[in-house]
């Protein structure tokens, strides 16, 4: 069997893959490929039509937005992903971004390096405690549940959740107090986080007049996908004071550069899609994506099908 792999996966996982399959890193002979393992590359309907032997497309990670899922389904190609492998890493990163914003850690670091402080603990550089505040979570999947647990158990926050596909009873089982509308969640939350897949219905999900519904002094994190928010509208909300601060680990154009005007703001934190970039997450994702790919090629049912 022939498997396409051109992006980094954990070395032990790649070693196992090479032991059981012929691994190629180009599409020069795409008609011979049985499986594609990807992290960020696009897989289009046109590619699938050329790959006559293709049986499985395996996503190393969560977001399948670079894969034409509809085309794969129509052609009987199994799409699999690893929805739980990086959940702890992304959750910890998200909690860290909220802490960094509320205590102005990144801003303080820059000012220290520039010798801008003239005294310790200056009164004009106050932070905000997380303890006892209200945390609003958009989406209630694996990562969201882990974030909610960290915020609730670690900081004693009230956890609200918005997800139109989850019942109030199920939300409670997952650790959330369900809110029926997105506007209501924004109006009640001191901190807001979004974890939704990038699909047509979630593109620009946080944009325009929705920023008028954020609670005064609220902070916001997006570590999902860049296009689920409108970056221009986020910039305007930060400049106008509709939001106290925001942090993004994902952007429309990645990695972010100085051309992105958000990076000019002191009340904005940027990181280059580091959420799942830990030793532990890469080990788990690599092992899972390789095992699942080999299992599907052997005729077994996948644990985490994308549809």
Q: Do residues 253 and 120 share a domain? A: yes
Dump pLDDT digits (tens) for 46-64.
999 999 999 999 999 998 9
Q: Do residues 245 and 203 share a domain? A: yes
221 in a structural domain:
yes
Q: Do residues 71 and 181 share a domain? A: no
User: What pLDDT does residue 266 have?
Assistant: 96
Q: Mean per-residue pLDDT for 129-146?
A: 97
Average model confidence (pLDDT) across the chain: 97
307 in a structural domain:
no
User: What pLDDT does residue 182 have?
Assistant: 98
38 in a structural domain:
yes
**DSSP-assigned letter for residue 268:** E
Going by pLDDT thresholds of 50, 70 and 90, the confidence category of residue 302 is: very high
Going by pLDDT thresholds of 50, 70 and 90, the confidence category of residue 148 is: very high
Dump pLDDT digits (tens) for 63-89.
899 999 999 999 999 999 999 999 999
Do the beta carbons of residue 8 and residue 39 sit within 8 Å?
yes
Dump pLDDT digits (tens) for 172-211.
999 999 999 999 999 999 999 999 999 999 999 999 999 9
Q: Give which of 66, 28, 63, 68 is closest to 46, Cα–Cα.
A: 68
Q: Mean per-residue pLDDT for 113-129?
A: 97
Q: Do residues 186 and 167 share a domain? A: yes
Q: Do residues 52 and 162 share a domain? A: no
Q: Do residues 145 and 59 share a domain? A: no
Q: Do residues 166 and 28 share a domain? A: no
User: What pLDDT does residue 6 have?
Assistant: 97
Residue 6 belongs to a domain with what CATH number?
3.40.50.720
Q: Which residues are catalytic?
A: 225, 254, 273
Q: Which residues contact 70 (CB under 8 A, 6 or more apart)?
A: none
305 in a structural domain:
no
Q: Do residues 18 and 149 share a domain? A: no
pTM to 2 decimal places = 0.92
Q: How many domains does the chain have?
A: 2
Q: Mean per-residue pLDDT for 87-99?
A: 98
Q: Do residues 25 and 143 share a domain? A: no
Residue 112: give the domain boundaries. 87-270
303 in a structural domain:
no
Q: Do residues 110 and 241 share a domain? A: yes
Do the beta carbons of residue 87 and residue 94 sit within 8 Å?
no
Q: Do residues 72 and 199 share a domain? A: no
193 in a structural domain:
yes
Going by pLDDT thresholds of 50, 70 and 90, the confidence category of residue 22 is: very high
227 in a structural domain:
yes
CA angle, 74 then 80 then 81, to 5°? 135
**DSSP-assigned letter for residue 147:** H
| Distance separating alpha carbons of residues 35 and 58, to the nearest angstrom | 7
| Distance separating alpha carbons of residues 307 and 298, to the nearest angstrom | 19
Q: Name beta bridge partners: 136.
A: 160, 192
Q: Do residues 28 and 94 share a domain? A: no
Structural element, H or E, at residue 192: strand 191-194
Q: Mean per-residue pLDDT for 252-279?
A: 97
């Amino acid at each position: 069997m022939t498997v396409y792999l051109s992006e980094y996966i954990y070395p032990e996982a790649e070693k196992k893959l090479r032991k059981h399959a012929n691994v190629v890193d180009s599409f020069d002979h795409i008609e011979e490929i049985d499986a594609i393992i990807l992290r960020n590359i696009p897989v289009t309907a046109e590619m699938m039509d050329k790959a006559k032997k293709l049986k499985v497309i395996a996503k190393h990670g969560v977001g399948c937005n670079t894969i034409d899922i509809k085309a794969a389904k129509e052609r009987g190609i199994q799409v699999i992903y690893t929805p739980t492998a990086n959940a702890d890493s992304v959750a910890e990163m998200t909690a860290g971004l909220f802490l960094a914003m509320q205590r102005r850690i990144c801003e303080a670091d820059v000012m220290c390096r520039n010798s801008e402080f003239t005294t310790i603990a200056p009164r004009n550089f106050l932070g905000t405690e997380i303890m006892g505040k209200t945390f609003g979570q958009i989406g209630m999947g694996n990562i969201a549940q882990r974030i909610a647990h960290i915020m609730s158990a670690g900081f004693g926050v009230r956890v609200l959740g918005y997800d139109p596909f989850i019942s109030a009873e199920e939300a409670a089982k997952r650790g959330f107090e369900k809110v029926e509308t997105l506007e209501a969640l924004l109006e009640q939350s001191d901190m807001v986080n979004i974890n939704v897949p990038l699909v047509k219905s979630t593109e620009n999900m946080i944009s325009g007049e929705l920023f008028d519904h954020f609670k005064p002094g609220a902070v916001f994190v997006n570590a999902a996908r860049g296009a689920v928010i409108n970056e221009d509208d986020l910039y305007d909300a930060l400049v106008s004071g509709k939001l106290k601060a925001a942090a993004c680990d994902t952007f429309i154009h990645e990695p972010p550069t100085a051309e992105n005007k958000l990076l000019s703001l002191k009340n904005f934190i940027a990181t280059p899609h580091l959420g799942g970039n830990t030793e532990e997450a890469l080990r788990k994702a690599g092992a899972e994506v390789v095992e699942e790919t080999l299992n599907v090629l052997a005729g077994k049912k996948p644990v985490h099908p994308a549809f």
